[in-house]
Structure 1
Amino acid sequence: MTAPASGSGPDTGADPGTVVGGDGLARPAWAAADPMLRDYYDTEWGMPVRDEQGMYERISLEAFQAGLSWATILRKRPAFRAAFEGFDPDRVARYGGDDVERLMGDAGIVRNRAKVLAAITNAQATIGLRDKGGLAEFVWSFRPDTTPRPRTFAEIPAKSPESLALAKALRREGFAFVGPTTMFALMEAVGIIDTHLLGSHRRGSSGVWPV
């Protein structure tokens, strides 16, 4: 769930990377204007996800985002959840050809066959990881010793040694569409790293990393 860059808002705080909204709270520019993105940023992005289904959903949505904006995926998330039965790995893992065609005919989601097939493949791989502690524990095992401390959006890296290692490890377990940039975005979204800008009111809110 990548944080997308956007134009700066009208009111800029002391930190050059944040925009102070009408509520007096500082956010990055991408989360300062669109109410949907602002709510997502304030309540969900960067908060820890430690359950299998939640992690599988986020890996799936990160894959569907490839080449698109996160806002597009977020607007379609209710349709994705309906189409993939709440991203229940056990259900999705059993999908066959008829299900693929059903999904390809669903205008509410991103109709990309390779990504649809990856979601099914990744559900099967998720089940396969249960005898190794489970998907969430597996992903969290790549948490780094330190986290970025960006003041501006430009200072946030696009990938890291840990996201590269995670991508390679997931591919070895049979996952698809899990490149190092996509996995870095996942690590941001689920709280494994904290890339909230230092001037943001959300910095340190996950409880995983100090402010």
Structure 2
Amino acid sequence: MKKAMDKKCYIKSMALISCQKPLCDDWFSEPITFDQAYVRAQEPDNKEFILPSETRRMSKILKRTICTAISSLNQAGIHNPNAIITGTGMGCMENSEKFLFDMAKFGEKCLKPTLFMQSTHNTIGSLIAIVLKCHGYNNTYSHKSISFESALLDAFVQMKLGYIKNALVGSHDEITPFTSLVLKHTHPEY
């Protein structure tokens, strides 16, 4: 056990999609500034990562998830990670909102099952595993603002104990216009 705990862990690569230019480090030297309180993430050109036929039913966060996962793995030279560990404070908010709005509008009739299936927190890690055909350890942390730290700690412990050699650790969240409005009214300090 002592020998496994002596192993060092390194972050080999990273990828980011935000309101800055996606999947590059330009924001370090040339950050884009905004005057608005709410700004959506800039969408990457996902044709490099996902077939157009597959993107049809994916929400924006799921497309961004696949782009960042594949980009980061390519940078690290890893084809198939031993583990996929995800942190998400709010999950797939856009799909959750659409599903709840449809439920309020139509009751339990005419609901789209895709919105429900893609609204859970573990949808993100599951989709990455499906796309990568990764059958290893897969865990999602949904602990609000400490979700990413929890995912990173899990990967660290799994590696230190020798259960895995590498992991794709990600943090994926989205704020929608509606969620932004709710947060503004319920938490004006933000």
Q: Give the TM-score taking structure 1 as reference length.
A: 0.29
> Going by fraction, where is strand more abundant, 1 or 2?
2
Q: Give the TM-score taking structure 2 as reference length.
A: 0.31
